[in-house]
Structure 1
Amino acid sequence: MVRLRRSRTDRGPISTVGLLVRFTAAGLIVLLSLAALIAVVARQAGVEQARESARQVAFVTARGVVEPRLDAGVIAGQPLALQSFDTAMRKYVLQGSLVRVKVWNADGRIVYSDEPRLIGQQFPLGPEEEAALRQQGSSASEVSDLSRPENRFEIPYKKLLEVYVGIRGPQGEPTLFEAYFQYQAVTDAGKAAWQRFAPPALGALLVLELVQIPFAWSLARRVQRQQRERERLLQHAVDASDAERRRIAGELHDGVVQELTGLNYALDAMRLGNPSEGQRADLIAESAGRLRASIGSLRSLLVDIYPPNLAEEGLTSALAELAAGLERAGVDVRLETDGVEELPPAAAALLFRAAQEVVRNVAAHSGAREVLIKAQRIDGRGVLIVDDDGRGFDESRLDERSSNGHLGLRSIGDLLAESGGTLTVRAAPGQGTRVEAEVPV
């Protein structure tokens, strides 16, 4: 089974509204995708900014508040020293989202914590804690692992951000300050960043989408007009091709075929009869003349069916072939060319196609005795003029002739217009016809 695939033209014209809806839908999908991306990026940026802010707060607190108050009594665990240190921590440090502090020595013993049950207990230090302890003045942060023993009293807070800062003890010994921030403050900062940056970003994208809709509507209408124009040109080409085939078939049947059929009958009659030598000579001479005329007609049809190779022979040679066809019909033809051999192949082909159609009309309808065929290159344009002294016609009936099936000139005009050229026809009854074709070079 052979299945024919339908083209878009077969499915009907493109809907302007359909194109606009698809464009708008695609724009909205992109807009939503960008909104989601902006949300993720803004939240991540806000979270990172909040974590950096927590690290800065912890660093300033460690170096400005904790380290100056960390004396030998606190390190030794003396109650009065711890009580004084605890009062300072609760007054100056434990504020806002900072909910817990710990001070460690290098052995992993908790020297101080606002949770007194942790003071004096010893736990193994993690890699981040050891790194901060070794590099004085550095800081690091991570989400608290509440499953670790030293964090068992932070479980009610659910999720915390730990920040480690390396400081010095009263004797210059490495000591670690650890601050715990509520992670909700970090997520709130991310949300705030999203709410701050999202409205202007999404607003700009929405305005861009709205601005593009009129342009998309205009583009869709232009596409629809071009599609209708292509369909019209295609229909003209199909109609012109059908008319051309009918014309060639009619000329073959009424011309060469009839001529050769008559010649065949005459030769058969001579073969079956007993003509004299003089009759035979006259018949042979007449037959040769009729054969030459038939060959000329066939050559004209060949030029119509398969035009000469303009790239090799040039426009002048091709126009001479057309002029020869008119001369064989008894028309006096004057051919003038100037600079046409320098025309690009596409422009030369258009001018020849126009000349072919006009000369055909001259031979078929004008009854002209003299014809001027003039082709030249003028100021970046290729120009063709075909002027005859025939019977002419009423210009106002040109559209009526096209609608009745005379599509040749209309098709040529469409071809020229598609290439940026023009076709001008000037005619009047009894005053001949002048056709001018121009194409840009």
Structure 2
Amino acid sequence: MVDERAPVSTVGLLVRFTAAGVIVLLSLAALIAYIARQAGTEQASESAREVTYVTARGVVEPRLDANVVAGQPAALQAFDSAMRRYVLQGSLVRVKLWSADGKIVYSDEPRLIGQTFPLDPDETEALRIQGSSESEVSDLSRPENQFEIPYKKLLEVYVGVRGPGDEPMLFEAYFQYQAVTQAGQAAWKRFAPPSLGALLLLELVQIPFAWSLARRVQRQQRDRERLLQHAVDASDAERRRIAGELHDGVVQELTGLNYALDAMRLGKPTEGQRAELIADSATRLRGSIGSLRTLLVDIYPPNLAEEGLASALAELAAGLERTGVAVRLETEGAEDLPPAVAALLFRAAQEIVRNVAAHSGAQEVLIQAGRVSGKATLVVDDNGRGFDEARLDERSSDGHLGLRSIGDLLAESGGMLTVRAAPGQGTRVEVEVPVR
């Protein structure tokens, strides 16, 4: 018996496929979440920059006069009222107005007004290029940001503005960073349901296909194991048949011939007896040689690639004729078949002819091979005793595995084998193999 490999589990394959799909789904979900949140955060930051730019141009610049820049209390009070009324709303929690020398001209935090701090390169660049807006996470460790520490994390946006006499100044707005991240989360929540829903639907749609594929793999494994088992069984039966034919045929003939020659050597035969024994021995030797040739063809078939299918079938027919059966061989169109197809047809012909010789009791046999409409065909038709087609499966289960194995090989190649028989009316076996 063949040691079977562990069978493919359909459920196991489906579980592995589904698990892989879930892993990919979760990975894509995480990637989509990251991209969506980044896009939302960037969009919120851009909105903060636009708000700051509009505020700088529409609210701050029109109210910048010499008194505000000079720090007059009444002017600063009016400017502060405008900032608190029109600007300091929602997530915008702090504003600062800087002069070019780093002095804070105005802030809604009065303790900062009048203090001077060094400007960083980005702030200096914004002063130089009027109208541009930049943003960054505020560094709360800097001295000018000491009063923003309770807010923990802020988005700082600064825009260059023009003061009295076209003096360059810098307007800064500080937004709560939590509002920015919330915008990113909101974007993720908008995109997540349709994106994840589409991925989940794709996973569910693939499961039936995965199940079908797993079943197909399982069937193919079973077919391979069945073919391998049939090949092993057929090989064992073939070895037993060859051993039996050698023992009951050639070995018996040669043993008898050896006894006859020993008797002649030990006795005193006449010239006529000696001549008769030599003639009989020659006949028996020719018969043994013919039997050995037939066995050689069975054990090691002719080189189909060089000699062709017609020549191989002629050799096979000659072996059948030596048993006293009249053979009609027709091989028109059999010479241009691909080697693999020719080998398959010859293997089928071997098994069918062997069955004819062993079981049919036929006197006449037709062996026909050729090519019709893109298919290679083989027909072996005998006038023997035939059998009941209903018993074909029973004959296979009783150990007649040859045709069964050939049928499996043909099916693997896309071909088919058909047996037509009836008691007393002979047997006709037809083989078809597609030629690609």
Whole-Å Cα distance in 2 between the matches of residues 332 and 276 of structure 1?
39
Instruction: Spell out, residue by residue over 1:132-171, the C-alpha distance to the aligned partner (whole angstroms, 9 max, x if none).
Output: 1121111111111111000001011111000111122221
Whole-Å Cα distance in 2 between the matches of residues 141 and 276 of structure 1?
129
| Larger deviation, residues 232-241 vs 381-390 | 232-241
SS at the partner of 1:137? coil
Whole-Å Cα distance in 2 between the matches of residues 288 and 68 of structure 1?
132
How much does 1:112 deviate? 1.2
Whole-Å Cα distance in 2 between the matches of residues 103 and 208 of structure 1?
55
The aligned counterpart of 1:72 is 66
The aligned counterpart of 2:258 is 264
Whole-Å Cα distance in 2 between the matches of residues 68 and 287 of structure 1?
133
Whole-Å Cα distance in 2 between the matches of residues 266 and 293 of structure 1?
16
1:247-396 pair list within 5 angstroms: 247-396=241-390
Whole-Å Cα distance in 1 between the matches of residues 203 and 354 of structure 2?
55
Tell me the amino acid that sits aligned with residue 9 of structure 2: S
Unmatched segments (≥5 aa) in structure 1: 1-5
Instruction: Spell out, residue by residue over 1:219-269, the C-alpha distance to the aligned partner (whole angstroms, 9 max, x if none).
Output: 222222222222222221111111111111111111111112222222222
Whole-Å Cα distance in 2 between the matches of residues 134 and 277 of structure 1?
137
The aligned counterpart of 2:32 is 38
Whole-Å Cα distance in 1 between the matches of residues 260 and 288 of structure 2?
15
How much does 1:187 deviate? 0.9
Whole-Å Cα distance in 2 between the matches of residues 82 and 27 of structure 1?
64
Whole-Å Cα distance in 1 between the matches of residues 352 and 222 of structure 2?
27
| Larger deviation, residues 145-154 vs 425-434 | 425-434
Matched, 1:10 2:5: yes
Equivalent of residue 14 in structure 2, options 12, 16, 20: 20
The aligned counterpart of 1:3 is none
How much does 1:334 deviate? 0.8
Matched, 1:161 2:155: yes
Whole-Å Cα distance in 2 between the matches of residues 309 and 166 of structure 1?
92
Tell me the amino acid that sits aligned with residue 321 of structure 1: E
The aligned counterpart of 1:179 is 173
Instruction: Spell out, residue by residue over 1:272-315, the C-alpha distance to the aligned partner (whole angstroms, 9 max, x if none).
Output: 33333333332222222222211211111111111111111111
Tell me the amino acid that sits aligned with residue 35 of structure 1: A
Whole-Å Cα distance in 1 between the matches of residues 318 and 232 of structure 2?
29
| Larger deviation, residues 15-24 vs 93-102 | 15-24
Matched, 1:141 2:135: yes
| Larger deviation, residues 176-185 vs 163-172 | 163-172
The aligned counterpart of 2:102 is 108
Tell me the amino acid that sits aligned with residue 158 of structure 1: K
Whole-Å Cα distance in 1 between the matches of residues 231 and 387 of structure 2?
24
Tell me the amino acid that sits aligned with residue 64 of structure 1: G
Instruction: Spell out, residue by residue over 1:104-150, the C-alpha distance to the aligned partner (whole angstroms, 9 max, x if none).
Output: 12111111111111111111111221221121111111111111000
| Larger deviation, residues 148-157 vs 60-69 | 60-69
Instruction: Spell out, residue by residue over 1:172-231, the C-alpha distance to the aligned partner (whole angstroms, 9 max, x if none).
Output: 222111110000101111111111111111111112222222222222222222222222
Tell me the amino acid that sits aligned with residue 67 of structure 1: E
The aligned counterpart of 2:117 is 123
How much does 1:384 deviate? 0.6
How much does 1:329 deviate? 1.1
Whole-Å Cα distance in 2 between the matches of residues 170 and 296 of structure 1?
124
SS at the partner of 1:65? helix
Tell me the amino acid that sits aligned with residue 275 of structure 1: P
SS at the partner of 1:49? helix
SS at the partner of 1:99? strand
The aligned counterpart of 2:409 is 415
Whole-Å Cα distance in 2 between the matches of residues 285 and 358 of structure 1?
35
SS at the partner of 1:294? helix
Whole-Å Cα distance in 2 between the matches of residues 117 and 87 of structure 1?
17
**Percent of paired sites with the same residue:** 84
Instruction: Give the superposed CA RMSD.
Output: 1.5
| Larger deviation, residues 217-226 vs 243-252 | 217-226
SS at the partner of 2:425? coil
Tell me the amino acid that sits aligned with residue 280 of structure 1: R
SS at the partner of 2:90? coil
| Number of equivalenced pairs | 434
Whole-Å Cα distance in 1 between the matches of residues 132 and 265 of structure 2?
123
SS at the partner of 1:171? helix
SS at the partner of 2:165? coil
Whole-Å Cα distance in 2 between the matches of residues 304 and 70 of structure 1?
110
Tell me the amino acid that sits aligned with residue 392 of structure 1: G
The aligned counterpart of 2:203 is 209
| Larger deviation, residues 258-267 vs 86-95 | 258-267
Whole-Å Cα distance in 1 between the matches of residues 165 and 272 of structure 2?
148
The aligned counterpart of 1:97 is 91
Whole-Å Cα distance in 2 between the matches of residues 266 and 171 of structure 1?
141
Tell me the amino acid that sits aligned with residue 117 of structure 1: R
The aligned counterpart of 1:403 is 397
Matched, 1:245 2:256: no
